[in-house]
């Protein structure tokens, strides 16, 4: 076996060529691929090697020898420490180009798909202050104070924020108020350590928001903190509390302490109730463009049945139901189904049936029963649908499948699986819902041989 040309701790200078999934920039040193954090395609940079595997290495840009014309100054004082952003140092138009290229590369390299039309990514008019949801982590300082922020790259260490230019300003006001109030409502460092995080959800339509206090158990300061927040932040419509043990990823459902448990958001001309525990697209403006595209590419007819898997609060399901004979949504989150039922009443959608089930459990039964669907919408979590779900989708014999994905790699794998079942992908449209980060939403349309 040939020895690696680099080892951990080495500093190597190399040109950086492209943006990779994860936000690193890729270059080559003596034939080995090097993934460099904080690089910009077009840079020549000195990279410190932090990890070496058999066929690649990872590192961090320590010095830019020759900057790319796409490299820009970053407005955020935390960039480079905070893990919330990865590519803020790349001009926004260049971000869109590189994200489009990343989708195309994933299709070819992972999916083995050629001849697919991939349009240029749709960008945001304003790529700042666009997020409607924040998940701030809490941590104690050596002096016993609470800080709220995001984790440092690849660590659990929390960076205490002075600002975040991705979040809606109300989220930031809530974060600042929590930090100020904790010194007053929690008397000791031990008590303050029970606050594990704060989650916010803001309506761009109304300017109102809700906050969820995530705690280890139910500390005595929760009620006082909640009351203080709604008094100090008038736009805060409600405060909830949830329980979590340490750094485990899952928390309990939120319990209302003060005020409301949901917000109402607008996507295009439609209004949706969204609760703190429900998934909803991070940018309402870009979500509206995605909804219109899904409607256009679905081409649902009056006599047709549309099936929306991972249907959430009804973001795609309700607009599509307006054109269909019958619409069916499947969603495993109880909170999202409650919101979706409220939205059915709001939209007066009488031709919609909702199922609170896991997609992978209900689909095989439907396929065994010989059920059919004319159009299937798939909007899975980041891990994608997977081969089992897609095999059963194909058994429903839809004429068209529209897949909405937030991860280029799992998108490519899912499209490859669909092609093996006779559903060829014709067109993809990347939609940037996550400026300053490597993430990209993509809408893809697939047609069966019978279409």
Nearest-angstrom CA–CA distance, 320 and 308: 9
Region of residue 22 (phi > 0: left; psi between -120 and 50: alpha; otherwise: beta): left
Nearest-angstrom CA–CA distance, 415 and 228: 49
Contacting residues for 77 by C-beta, under 8 A, at least 6 apart: 162, 163
Query: What is the pairing mode between strands 195-202 and 133-140?
Result: antiparallel
Nearest-angstrom CA–CA distance, 192 and 186: 6
Kindly report the backbone phi and psi dihedral angles of residue 376, in degrees, each rounded to the nearest multiple of 5, phi listed first: -120, 130
Report the 10 Å Cβ neighbour count for 250.
7
| Active site (catalytic) residues | 406
Contacting residues for 438 by C-beta, under 8 A, at least 6 apart: 19, 20, 21, 22, 23, 86, 87, 99, 102
Tokens of 332: 């495993």
Over the Cα atoms of the chain, what is R_g?
23
Report the 10 Å Cβ neighbour count for 17.
15
Nearest-angstrom CA–CA distance, 176 and 161: 9
Contact present, 118 and 103 (Cβ < 8 Å): yes
Contact present, 168 and 235 (Cβ < 8 Å): no
Nearest-angstrom CA–CA distance, 368 and 395: 9
């Amino acid at each position: 076996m040939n020895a690696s040309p680099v080892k951990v701790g080495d500093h190597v200078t190399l040109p950086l060529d492209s943006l990779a999934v994860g936000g690193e920039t890729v270059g080559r040193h003596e034939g080995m691929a090097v993934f460099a954090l904080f690089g910009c395609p077009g840079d020549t940079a000195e990279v410190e090697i932090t990890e070496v595997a058999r066929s690649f290495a990872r590192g961090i840009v320590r010095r830019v020898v020759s900057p790319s014309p796409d490299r820009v100054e970053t407005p955020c004082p935390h960039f480079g420490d905070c893990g919330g952003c990865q590519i803020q140092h790349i001009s926004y138009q260049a971000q869109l180009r590189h994200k489009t290229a990343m989708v195309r590369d994933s299709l070819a390299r992972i999916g083995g798909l050629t001849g697919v039309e991939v349009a240029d990514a749709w960008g945001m008019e304003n790529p700042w202050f666009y997020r409607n949801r924040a998940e701030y982590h809490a941590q104690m300082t050596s002096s016993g104070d609470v800080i709220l922020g995001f984790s440092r790259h690849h660590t659990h260490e929390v960076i205490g924020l002075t600002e975040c230019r991705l979040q809606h300003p109300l989220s930031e006001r809530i974060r600042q108020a929590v930090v100020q109030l904790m010194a007053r409502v929690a008397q000791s460092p031990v008590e303050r350590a029970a606050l594990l995080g704060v989650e916010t959800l803001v309506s761009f339509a109304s300017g109102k928001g809700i906050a969820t206090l995530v705690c280890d158990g139910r500390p005595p300061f929760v009620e006082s903190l909640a009351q203080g927040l709604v008094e100090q932040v008038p736009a805060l419509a409600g405060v909830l509390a949830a329980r979590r043990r340490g750094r485990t990823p899952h928390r309990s459902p939120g319990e209302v302490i003060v005020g409301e448990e949901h917000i109402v958001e607008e996507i295009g001309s439609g209004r949706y109730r969204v609760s703190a525990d429900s998934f909803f697209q991070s940018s309402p403006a870009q979500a509206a463009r995605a909804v219109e595209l899904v409607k256009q590419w679905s081409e649902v007819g009056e006599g047709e049945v549309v099936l929306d898997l991972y249907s959430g609060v009804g973001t795609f399901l309700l607009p599509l139901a307006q054109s269909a004979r019958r619409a069916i949504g499947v969603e495993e989150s109880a909170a999202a189904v409650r919101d979706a039922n409220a939205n059915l009443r709001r939209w007066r959608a009488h031709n919609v049936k909702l199922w609170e089930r896991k997609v992978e459990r209900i689909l095989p039964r439907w396929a065994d029963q010989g059920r059919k669907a004319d159009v299937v919408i798939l909007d899975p979590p980041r891990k994608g649908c997977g081969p089992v779900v897609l095999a059963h989708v194909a058994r429903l014999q839809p004429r068209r499948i529209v897949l909405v994905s937030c991860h280029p790699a799992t998108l490519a794998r899912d499209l490859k699986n669909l092609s093996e079942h006779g559903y060829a992908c014709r067109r993809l449209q990347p939609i940037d819902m996550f400026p300053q980060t490597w993430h990209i939403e993509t809408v893809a349309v697939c047609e069966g041989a019978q279409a």
